[in-house]
Amino acid sequence: MATNESAENNDDNRSTSSSSSHSQNNSNRSSYIHLLAGGLAGTFGAVLTCPLEVIKTRYQSSHNSFSKTNQIGQNLSRPSIISAFRFILQNEGVRGLFKGLVPNLVGVAPSRAIYFFAYANTKSFLVEAMQRETPLVHVTSAASAGIAMSTCTNPLWFVKTRLQLDQGNLRALDVVRKIHRENGFRGFYKGISASYVGVSETIVHFVIYEQIKAQLQLIQMSQNRSPDDPDLFNFVSYLGAAACSKSFASTMCYPHEVLRTRLREEGTKYRTLIQTFQTVLHEEGFAGFYRGLLTHLIRQIPNTAIMMSTYEIVVAIFSSNVTQTTTTSEVTTLHPRKVYVTNVDTEANAANESEN
C-alpha cells in the first residue's frame, strides 16, 4: 500500500512538473510571438510612410531644407507638404524621399521588437504581481518600454535624422565616421534627453488605447465573440482605437520631436534640452514647437494604426496555436466596473508601440 502511495505521488510530481514545463514553454513562445509581431509591424509601417518622415524632419529643422542654399534663419517660410514633396522629387529624385530608410529599416524592427517585448513582459509581470490590470500597469509598462527602446536604438535614429536633413549624397557610413571622430561614442546620443521626454507621448497613447480596447472587449464578449479572432471587426476596431489615441497623444506631446531634431542638427547652436527649449521659444515663439505637426499627424496616425493593427493580427494568428489556460485576470476600465477575461484576452491585450 505504501508502494502504491509512493507511485501515486511520483505520478503527481511528474504531472505537476510536466504542466509547469508546458506552461513555461507557452510563456516563452508567447514572448517570441510579441517580438516577431512588433518587428514585422514596425517595418511595414516605416516603409509606407518614409517620404512623409523625411518632409517632417526637414520642417522641424532650423535649416531651410527646401532651398538649394540650405540657409539658416528664424523666419524662413516652409512650403506646403505637396510643394515640399515636389521640391525633393525634382532636386534629389525618388531616392531623396527615402533618405534615412536604411538605418530606419535596420532600427525599426529591433526598436519595435524591443518596445513590444519590454511592454508585454513588464505588463505580464505587473499583472501577475498585482492580480489585476489597471491604468497604472499600462503607464509603467509603456514608460519602461519607451526608455528601453530609446536607450538601445538612439544611435540609429541620430544617423537617420542627419541623412534626412542632408540634400546631397551623404552616406550613413560617412555620418558614423564624422560623429565618432568629432564627438566619440557620446555623439550618437545627442537628443536622447528629448527622447526620454517623449516617453510621455507613449504613456498617453497607451493608456487611451488600452481603455478603448477594454471597452471593445466588453462589446465583443456581450456578443459572444472572441477578441482573438483575426476578423474584419477586430481589425477595424484596433485601427480606430490606435488612430484616436495616437492623434491625441501626438498633438499633446509634439514639442519634444522638434527639440530632438534640433539637438541632432550639425553645429553647436543647440546643446542641451533646456537651452534648446529656451532658444526655440525666444527665436520662434510657441509656434516653433509645432513645426511639421500636420505632416507628423498625416504620417504618424496611419503608420501607428497600420503597425498596431498588424501587430494585433500577427499575435492573434500565432497565439491561436498556443495552448491556453483558462484562468482569469481582472481588467479595470475607466468605468466603475470590472471585466474578467481569460489569459487569451490578457495576452491579446498585452502590448503594442513610438521613435519614428
Q: N- to C-terminal Cα distance for the chain?
A: 68
Q: What angle do CA 352, 218, 321 make, to 5 degrees?
A: 55
* C-alpha 186, offset from chain centre: 24
Q: What is the mean pLDDT of the chain?
A: 78
Q: Give the H/E segment covering residue 39.
A: helix 2-48
* Res 114 pLDDT > 70: yes
Write down the pLDDT at residue 324.
Answer: 45
Determine the Cα–Cα distance for residues 342 and 331; give it in Å rounded to an integer. Answer: 10
Question: CB neighbours of 68 closer than 8 A, spacing ≥ 6?
Answer: 91, 167
Determine the Cα–Cα distance for residues 101 and 104; give it in Å rounded to an integer. Answer: 5
Alpha-carbon distances of 354 from 139, 202, 334, rounded to whole Å: 14, 6, 24
* Res 70 pLDDT > 70: no
pLDDT in tens, 140-155: 888 898 899 999 999 9
* C-alpha 295, offset from chain centre: 18
Other CB atoms within 10 A of residue 46 CB = 22
Spell out the domains of the chain, with CATH numbers in brackets.
33-66+76-348 (1.50.40.10)
The 3-class secondary structure across 247-272, one letter per residue, is: HHHHHHHCHHHHHHHHHHCCCCCCCC
Write down the pLDDT at residue 77.
Answer: 66
Determine the Cα–Cα distance for residues 343 and 325; give it in Å rounded to an integer. Answer: 7
* Res 272 pLDDT > 80: yes
Range scoring the smallest mean pLDDT among 155-169, 207-221, 279-293? 207-221
Q: Are 29 and 21 in contact (CB under 8 A)?
A: no
pLDDT in tens, 339-350: 443 333 333 333
Write down the pLDDT at residue 291.
Answer: 92
Write down the pLDDT at residue 59.
Answer: 93
Q: What percent of the chain has pLDDT over 90?
A: 28
Determine the Cα–Cα distance for residues 332 and 122; give it in Å rounded to an integer. Answer: 17
Q: Are 253 and 204 in contact (CB under 8 A)?
A: yes
Range scoring the smallest mean pLDDT among 81-90, 248-257, 322-331? 322-331
Q: Are 172 and 103 in contact (CB under 8 A)?
A: yes
Supply 204's cell numbers. Answer: 498617453
Range scoring the smallest mean pLDDT among 65-69, 173-177, 261-265, 288-292? 65-69
3-state secondary structure at position 63? strand
* Res 332 pLDDT > 50: no
3-state secondary structure at position 167? coil
Greater model confidence, 91 or 14: 91
Write down the pLDDT at residue 331.
Answer: 42
Which band of pLDDT confidence, cut at 50, 70 and 90, is reported for residue 136? Answer: confident
Write down the pLDDT at residue 329.
Answer: 41
Range scoring the smallest mean pLDDT among 128-132, 243-247, 298-302, 340-344? 340-344
3-state secondary structure at position 75? coil
Determine the Cα–Cα distance for residues 167 and 65; give it in Å rounded to an integer. Answer: 7
Greater model confidence, 183 or 69: 183
pLDDT in tens, 87-102: 999 988 989 998 998 8
Alpha-carbon distances of 31 from 27, 112, 181, 290, rounded to whole Å: 6, 13, 39, 37
**What number of residues does the chain have?**
356
Which band of pLDDT confidence, cut at 50, 70 and 90, is reported for residue 22? Answer: low
Cross-strand pairs, 329: 341
Supply 116's cell numbers. Answer: 513590444
Greater model confidence, 110 or 22: 110
Nearest to 150 by CA among 205, 112, 104: 112
Q: Are 53 and 164 in contact (CB under 8 A)?
A: yes
Write down the pLDDT at residue 348.
Answer: 34
Residue range 305-315: mean pLDDT, rounded: 78
Greater model confidence, 338 or 237: 237
Q: Which residue has the cell 476578423?
A: 231
Which band of pLDDT confidence, cut at 50, 70 and 90, is reported for residue 188? Answer: very high
